[in-house]
Chains A and B, each alone.
Chain A
C-alpha cells in the first residue's frame, strides 16, 4: 500500500445548531485516508461517525454546520482540492465522480418508482453527457455484473430485488464513475451475515481491481478488523484511537477500544465471561468534561475528568495514535494491566 494520501481531514469541527444550545458532534478530527486503503471508522450511535461522512461530502444538512477545519482531496496527479470551499457546480462534478457514498440503509435509498436501469443510467447521463444511450445501458450492465447481478435484472424495480441485491445495486451505482474514494456508511447493517460477507468479499475484490479507497463506517468492530487496513475508533465526537487493524485487535491502547473489543463474544476459543462496558454512551448535549469516556472507564485517574486528552502517537510507536492520558508522552505509557493501573485487564482482547 502506498502512503500517498487521497483524503486529508484536519481539525474538523461540526456543530448541530448555531446558538448557545449547539451541540458539538465532531471535535478536532484529524484523519488521513491513503490511496487504495480501507479505513474503518468504528463507534457507537452518537459517536459522530455518520456526521463525519456527511461533513466530508458536504451533505450535512441544517442544523449541522461545519465550524472549523479543512478537508482536502488529493487528485492522482498531485493537486489538492479544498472540498469545503468548492463552488456548487464544482462540488456537483466532484461528487460521485471522485468521491461517492453508500448510505446507511441503502436498501431503501433506491427510488421505488424507477427501474434499476433508469437509476443507474441517471448518474451516467448527468456526469457523462457525451455517452450515447446505448453506451450508458452497456455500462449499467457492466456495473451490475461487477457486483454479481445478472444483466437481465436491469429492468427490475427495487421491490423486485432482495435486500442484498438492492444493496449491491447501490454499490454498483457508487462505482459507476470509478471514483477515487467510496464512503460506506453502515452498508451491510440491515443484511444477514451470509449476504454481508458476500458483499464485502465482492467489495474487496473490486477494490483490488479498480484501486479505490474506502472509508468503511460501522459499529461492528470485529467486521472492521477483518476487512479494513486501518481503524479509527470514535467516541463522543472525537477519534480516540487510530492504528492498523491488527494492532488494534492485538493490542488496543485506549480503554474504550479495549472495551469495544470485549463486547463481541468470540465464535472460537475458550468461552469466557464478558462484561461489555458499564454505563451507556454519552448524549451529545451532556458530554462529560475532560475525556468523554472517563465516567465509564475503569482506568480513569486524576487528569481524565479535567483535561481532554490529545490524539498523539504513544512513545516509540509512530504508526498509531491514541487519545488517552494513560499513554500521554512522559507518563511512561503504562500498558493495560501493567504499572498499577486500576481495573486490571488481561492483555489482548477476548478470544
Chain B
C-alpha cells in the first residue's frame, strides 16, 4: 500500500478543494467541527416495529411489536471507528438504519453536530444524507447491474452538488473518487459494469459512491462479510485509511468481534436490542465484563484455544430471545450462567468500570471499579439459573 502513497496525497488535495466548495452550502456544520469531536449521537434511541394485527389481538389493549432497538445511546466521533458487535437479530442493522434516518424513531433523538435532527423526506433528508452515508453489506445488490461505475458515481456527485461545472471537472472528481478507494487507474474502472468487477472492487465502488457526498459519517453495515476472506482486510484497511485522511466518523457494524478489535477504536456490544457493554476495543475484547461479551468471545473461532472444550461450558448456551416479548429485567438473564434473582426483574443500568469501559450488568453494581471483572467470576456459575436457561431455550 505504501507505493501508491504519492497518488493518495494527490487525490487528497483534489477532494479537499471540493470539500471547501460544499462547505458553504452547510454553514451549520462549521460550529460543530469547532465545538466537539462528536459528530453523530444517538440518545435513548428506541425502535419498535408494530406487528400486523391478528384476530387474537383484537381485544388486546396494546398492539404487539418487535422491540428491535431499545434505549440505545452512542456517540460517533470524528476520526474514530466505533464497532457495533452483535449476533443476527440483535438490532445492530436497525441502529444503522435509524442513524441513517431510514426509519422514524419510536422515541429518543439523533443529534448531528450537536443539534437534534429529524430528517423527513425530500430536501431535509437529502441534506442529512449529505453528511451521513450508509454502506450496505452486499455490493452485489447495492449496485445497479445495468449501470456503469461512471453512472453510479456521477449520480452521487450530482445529487450532492459536487459534480463541478463542466465535463472536465466532473471527470476529475470521478477520478479522484476512484483513486481514493484505490481503484487505479480510474479510467480502467469508470466504464465497467458491476458484473465485471470482483466483490472487493464492487464494495470499493459502493464506498466511493458514499464518499461522493463528502460525508462526515460513514455507517458501514457489515461491509466485508460478503467478501472473500483474502480481500476483507484490504477493504477494512481502506476504510481505516479514509478515516485517517478524511477524519470520518465510522460506525462499523459486524458480527465478528475479532475484526472489531482489529479495526475499531471503540467497541459496543449489542444483545437483543440493547447495548450491553462498551469501551475501548482492546479493553472490551481482552477483559470482557458482560457475560454476553464473554460468551461471544469464548465462541469466536480462535486457533490458539488451548482450553479444553469441556471447560468452556459455563459461558452459557442457547439462543437470543424473541424480541416481541423480550425477557423482563436483563434480556440476557435466561442464558446467563451468572444470573441472579434481580436480573430477572430489574433492568441493569450502565455501570462504569476502569479505563472507560462500562457494562449493563448487575454483577458490577456497587463493586469497586477495580475489582469489577474479578467479581464476575465469584457469582454462582450454572446452578439453578443455568438449568433454567437450558430449559428456556429448549
Q: Which residues of A does B touch, CB under 8 Å? A: 44-45, 149-150, 153, 162, 164, 192-198, 201, 204, 219-223, 225-226, 249, 259-260, 263-269, 271, 273-281, 349, 351
Contacts and interface: CB of A to CB of B under 8 A. Distances in A.
Contacts of A226: 301-303, 305
Interface residues of B, number: 41
Given A44-B230, A275-B237, A266 B258 contact: yes
B301 A275 contact: no
B262 A265 contact: yes
Contact of A225 (B87, B256, B303, B309): B303
A226 B286 CA distance: 20
A196 B258 CA distance: 16
B317 A280 contact: no
B237 A192 contact: no
A268 B286 contact: yes
Contact of B258 (A225, A264, A273): A264
B300 A193 contact: yes
A220 B232 CA distance: 12
B345 interface: no
Interface string B224-241: 000011111110010000
Contact of A193 (B1, B261, B301): B301
A44 B258 CA distance: 20
Contact of A192 (B88, B258, B394): B88
B304 interface: yes
Contact of A280 (B87, B231, B298, B300): B231
B201 A194 contact: no
B296 A193 contact: yes
B113 interface: no
Given A195-B319, A226-B301, A280-B198, A267 B231 contact: no
Contacts of A269: 304
B303 A194 contact: no
Given A194-B295, A260-B230, A280-B228, 16 more contacts: A193-B255, A193-B257, A193-B296, A194-B296, A194-B317, A222-B303, A226-B302, A265-B233, A265-B258, A266-B258, A267-B297, A273-B237, A275-B1, A275-B233, A276-B229, A280-B199
B285 interface: yes
A220 B229 contact: yes
B293 to A, nearest CB: 11
Q: Which of B199, B228, B262, B303 has the most CB of A within 10 A?
A: B303
Given A162-B319, A201-B309, A271-B282, A276 B303 contact: no
Residue among A153, A194, A260, A277 with most chain B CB within 10 A: A194
A151 B380 CA distance: 30
B304 A277 contact: no
B294 to A, nearest CB: 11
Contacts of A193: 87, 255-257, 296, 299-301
B94 interface: no
Interface string B178-200: 00000000000000000000111
Nearest to A279: B231
A219 B228 contact: yes
Nearest to B262: A265
A294 to B, nearest CB: 15
A201 B313 CA distance: 10
A267 B237 contact: no
A219 B229 contact: yes
Interface in B221-275: 228-234, 237, 255-259, 261-263
A221 to B, nearest CB: 8
